[in-house]
Structure 1
Amino acid sequence: MSEYKYLFDAVEKHRTLIFEAEKYIWENPETGYREWKTSTYLEKKFEKLGYKLFRAENIPGFYTIIDTGRPGPCVLVMAELDSLICFEHPDADPQTGAVHACGHHAQCAALLGLAAALKEEGVLDGLSGRIKLCAVPAEELIETEYRETLRQKGIIRYYGGKVEFLYRGYFDDVDMAFMFHTTGGKHRFYATRGSNGCIVKNINYKGVAAHAGGSPHEGINALYAATLGIHAINALRETFKDSDHIRVHPIVTKGGTAVNAIPSDVKMESYVRGADMKVITEVNKKINRALAASAAAIGANVILSDRPGYTPLINDKNLLRIAERAMKEIAPAEHVAITDNWGTGCTDMGDISAVMPAIHPYAGGATGTGHGSDYRIEDKENACVNSAKCQLLMLNMLLSNDAAEAKKVIEEKNLRYQSKEEYFKAIDSIIQDKTAVIYNEDGTVTLDFAKEITVKE
């Protein structure tokens, strides 16, 4: 019998609560910074368990603090509130297209199960320090035009929920962090060395409208300029090193308003992803040059708006070691994998890992294609219940024995930024809004597409 059976039993007592939450949140998906119903549901459940909550107020999300009564480090555990958009998914909201095609609903259910288990008698015995549980909004970097409107109104400063919470000071007292994402595949638990970061781009080509049949020669086609921009980006792909894991994938969000009018206002969104922020920013300069030159080629213009996306995730080795121990207490060793692989997706957990020791492991249970129309949670036991057990066991391992393991994590941490202030100065240097083509009086053209950026590798 496992020495941790009492911890597992503490989670088992709340199976119904966990599965009810998984079902409710699946059936009520909401995209980033719109998760009011989801946040309210969890808030009520947490308060019923006896927790005092600290709400973000003008955006969804909250956190609570559990004090063991003995001094020690503070460990942050998070779950993400937001959904994706996939109108083709059979369970998508018919009005918004929102659907939990990345399994965040299972994360939330597991976090609620963890919160309930932490209230059980004896669970905190022998632990030192504090535990912060947090339901955080807006991990999926979608609807960036909407998020920019929030930014312009002063409601948020950053597109990602964890970055926003970090900026607001909600994590100032935290020493380390982890969250378990849901995944598919053969393993019950899985983790990698890390994953890509990104810059978020909004691109607005400007032309001149004219009658598409009667007088097209009087117009400047912004859609053609955007098409040239996409082709120019594609022509750059062979210059990207495989080891840098670069991904660039623009979409057109507005291509014109009437078929008989030359498009004069065309909008695109894109990421520039990569494994290293310095490389990402250098590639982004190439992308901006290509976009600007494409506008200039046909006499159009382009407004380039770059925003911090996410910093690459680098999982802390000591936290991964603890996670692996916990995973193997719950699942057979052959169903646990800690690899040196690198992921090419992005998460704002990477930003957390830039300023404190952090990890972003995975709990299996999903089937179908992530972000796709067939994604769903088949093994709710592993995705929700076993995930909660593993997180509870990690907390126990970190904070028992006078928090010896947590203190080791702190002592041996290797961070890219030594302070929150240094980190925000670096990512703020990414922000730019440029009208990139200057038509000079002498007929020459100047491209203005770059700025000095101070990010670290």
Structure 2
Amino acid sequence: MLNKEELLQYLEKEKQAIYQRGDTFFQCAELGFCEVETAKKITELLDEWGIPYEKEIALTGIIATLGSGKGYHIAFVADIDALPRKDGKGNIHSCGHSIQTTMGLSLLKALHESGILEQTDCGVSFFFTPAEEYIDFAYRDGLIAKGKLEFRSGKQNMIALGYFDEVNCVLSAHANGDEGTKFDVDSTLAGFMAKKAVFMGRAAHSGAAPHLGRNTLHGATLAMNALSFLKDQFAVEKGLRLNPVLTAGGGSVNTIPDVTVLETYVRANDNETLFEACKRFDGCIEHCAKALDLGYEISNTVGYLPLAQSKGLNKVVRGNMLLYCSSEEIVESPISGASGDVGDLGFLIPTIQFGFSGVKGRFHDDSFAIADYENCYITSGKVMLGTIYDLITNPDSRVQQNKKEYIGKKLEYFGWLHHNYQ
């Protein structure tokens, strides 16, 4: 069997081809569940390399598997969707998903050409997943209404279809914006739930008889104050973010408003805080409405769960990072207010998503660009490939989850999804 350094050389000798693929996928920016050209480019490469795959999973997703996976089954997950440009001129990979896609293909080719998995009882499945960005609701909800999808996110649909049922662990990586560092490890991502509260009252003449009305704008204003006080009841490290806005209300200055709509995301760093904050949001709406004799309705739109990473897997990842940088160049356990559907995987399966530097500009902005090709595509790829090597060659490095535990978590997960999906 190859040693680790011999396996990593497959990336080194492919460097220029990897850079070219990175540019190709960066220029091919498509929104979630519309990644038709991206999927075509991926499958054309897999066909060229003679690697079997399954396509059109959750419309545009692709999975390619190497090895048997009977002893240990690793999933590498790459997002393939992009975002709309701020200038309205098409789309852009302003979250760096094209780097993930390129990394996945580089690792896949290296493992395939080396034949190393055929010498083990392990397998690695490469998931090219659509629609991580939580946008474009009208389009996605239309697909759901037509029965083409069940949920708004690519990974949520792939979980529902059972594609992760035989996976033992999930590996992923994502660009970060930390200058002066190489990597981050064991970061958190916030989970979120979208909440919509409709206050219902009674219209009346605001000058002649305001007392005959029931002012819903007053109810929403009272609730916004209550919610601002609520934030102080959670510790800072819980990451609660709650910034409500009024999306409907007011109207004629001569009429007491009878309908006002308040909407917000509820974000938190862990499931317990997220669910508790959602419960207490509902309490604020209910009691503020009742205090002013108003009616109310609350609707929820499920988002993503917080990401809690596997400590055991991150130990392996960190060891591979140290082959290319000092410990001072690794950011340990950063807390992020961003969210991703990788958090849903982390709830079910031992999961990691390390961060790597090498981009410039602002995330989710037209200024985003790749600045350090070496770190984005080669060094980060070596960290991931080295991690895979350690997991397939050293059983003691593997993080295990029994099947019964997974089934129980999956039942809980879909109970949460279906209860809150509107």
| Same fold flag (TM > 0.5) | yes
Q: 1:427 aligns with which of 406, 413, 416?
A: 416
Percent of matched pairs sharing the same residue: 26
Q: Is the 8 A contact 2:186 2:311 kept in 1?
A: no
1:410 matched to 2:405? The reply is: no
Inter-CA distance 268–15: structure 2 relative to 1 (3 Å threshold): farther
Equivalent residue, structure 2, for 1:393 = 386
In structure 2, what is the equivalent of residue 167 of structure 1? 160
| SS of 1:179 mapped into structure 2 | strand
CA-to-partner distance for each residue in 1:10-29, whole Å, 9 max, x for gaps? 11333344323322333332
Residues 76 and 271 of structure 1, relative CA distance in 2, 3 Å threshold: same
1:15 corresponding residue in structure 2: 15
Alignment of 1:136-215 (within 5 A): 136-185=129-178, 186-192=180-186, 194-203=188-197
Q: Secondary structure at the match of 1:361?
A: strand
TM-score, normalization: structure 2?
0.83
Query: Counterparts in 2 of 1:249-328, with a 5 A limit?
Result: 249-250=243-244, 269-292=263-286, 303-328=297-322
List per-residue Cα deviations over 1:306-340 (Å, max 9, x = no partner).
Answer: 133222222112111111122222x1224642624
1:375 lines up with 2:368 in the alignment: yes
Correspondent of 1:240 among 234, 239, 248: 234
Instruction: Check the 8 A contact 1:354/1:417 in 2, yes or no.
Output: no
TM-score by length of 1: 0.78
Q: Indicate conservation of the 8 Å contact 1:29/1:82, yes or no.
A: yes
Residue 193 (structure 1) shift: 5.1
Which shifted more, 170-179 or 50-59? 50-59
1:103 matches 2:96: yes
d(CA) in 1 for partners of 2:61, 2:252: 41
The residue identity in structure 1 corresponding to 2:7 is L
Q: CA deviation at 1:148?
A: 3.7
SS at match of 1:394: helix
Deviations 1:27-76 (A, max 9, x none): 33233233233222222222222222212345221111111x58421100
| 5+ long unaligned stretches in structure 2 | none
Query: How big is the shift at 1:375?
Result: 2.9
Could you say if the C-alpha distance between residues 70 and 150 of structure 1 is closer, same or farther in structure 2, counting changes exceeding 3 Å?
closer
Partner Cα distance (2:252, 2:16) in 1: 53
| Alignment RMSD | 3.8
Greater helix fraction, Structure 1 or Structure 2 = 2
Distance (Å, rounded) in 1 between the aligned partners of 2:35 and 2:253? 37
Q: 1:28 aligns to what?
A: 28
Q: Deviations over 1:77-124 (max 9, x none)?
A: 01011223451xxxx6525xx432221111111112112222323544
> Displacement of 1:379 after TM fit?
1.0
For 1:223 and 1:111, how far apart are their aligned partners in 2?
51
Q: Is contact 1:101-1:375 (8 Å) kept?
A: yes
- Partner secondary structure for residue 74 of structure 1: strand
Equivalence for 1:440? none
Partners of 1:75 and 1:176 within 8 A in 2: yes
SS at match of 1:370: coil
In structure 1, stretches of 5+ residues that fail to align are: 434-457
Residues in 2 aligned to 1:418 and 1:8: alpha-carbon distance in whole angstroms? 36
C-alpha offsets along residues 371-424 of structure 1, whole Å, 9 cap, x if unaligned?
A: 345332211221122222222221111102xx5145x4117x899865354333
How many angstroms apart in 1 are the aligned matches of 2:348 and 2:156?
11
Whether contact under 8 Å (2:66, 2:112) holds in the other structure is no
